Amino acid sequence: MSEVVAVFEEKMEKTLNNLSEELATIRAGRANPSVLNRLTVDYYGSPTPIQQVANVSVPEARILVIQPWDRSLLKGIEKAILTSDIGINPSNDGVVIRLVFPELTGERRKELSKEVRKKGEAAKVAVRNIRREAMDSFKKAEKNGEMTEDDVKRAEDEAQKLTDKFIGKVDKTVEAKTKEIMTV
């Protein structure tokens, strides 16, 4: 693969990684510590991710236990969870916070799978935008005399193959997450 296309492959890889991170935050009926990834708590004046101020464990399939290293953070963590979009009420016993994940209803599973497909579509659009950016840069290079017409054609073919490959990866990632959500 040419160096010209490698830059765009890196961008597409980042798009795929971003999609995977976003999908990890969608809960699928089982307790998963990654649902807390975007939550921060005020720790001595600075917003800090919960995983950096507490021990997060999964003692049972549908229970998440958050044990802060500093007990004064219990209220802050509880508030962060309540104001988030997780949709679970935390149970605070003065030592740890428990999140009990309810079994997902069929309707909620369908909603979540729609959300997953939307995120997948957004990732595909991002990949296609990267392809367009690549094609534009090839044409500009040809116009400036930096690439020959044959080089541009080869680079465009490589960029198209790369786009097809990453759209396939996005589809597989979305399909796997949808299957995970729909599994009872």
Residue-level pLDDT at 29: 66
Smallest Cα–Cα separation from 23: which of 183, 172, 184? 172
Q: What is the pLDDT of residue 27?
A: 66
Is-contact 147 78, C-beta < 8 A?
no
Report the distance separating Cα 2 and Cα 159, nearest Å: 10
Reported as a pLDDT band with limits 50, 70 and 90, residue 5 is: confident
- 90 band by pLDDT with thresholds 50, 70 and 90: confident
What is the average pLDDT across 37-45?
Answer: 84
- HSE on the CB side for 41, CA within 13 Å? 23
pLDDT tens for 150-174 read 988 999 999 999 999 999 999 999 9
List domains and CATH numbers for the chain: 3-24+105-182 (1.10.132.20), 33-100 (3.30.1360.40)
Element (H, E) at 152: helix 149-182
* Angle, alpha carbons 94-72-37 (nearest 5°): 90
% residues pLDDT > 70 (the chain): 96
Within 8 A by CB and 6+ apart from 33, the residues are 51, 56, 57, 58, 64
Distance of CA 158 to the CA centre of its chain: 27
What is the rounded CA–CA span in Å between residue 40 and residue 47? 5
Question: Which pTM was predicted?
Answer: 0.71
- Per-residue pLDDT tens over the stretch 112-163: 889 899 999 999 999 999 999 999 999 998 898 888 889 889 999 999 999 9
Count Cβ atoms below 10 Å from residue 11 Cβ, excluding itself: 16
Task: Give the tens place of pLDDT for each residue, 17-34.
Answer: 999 888 877 766 677 787
Q: What is the pLDDT of residue 1?
A: 46
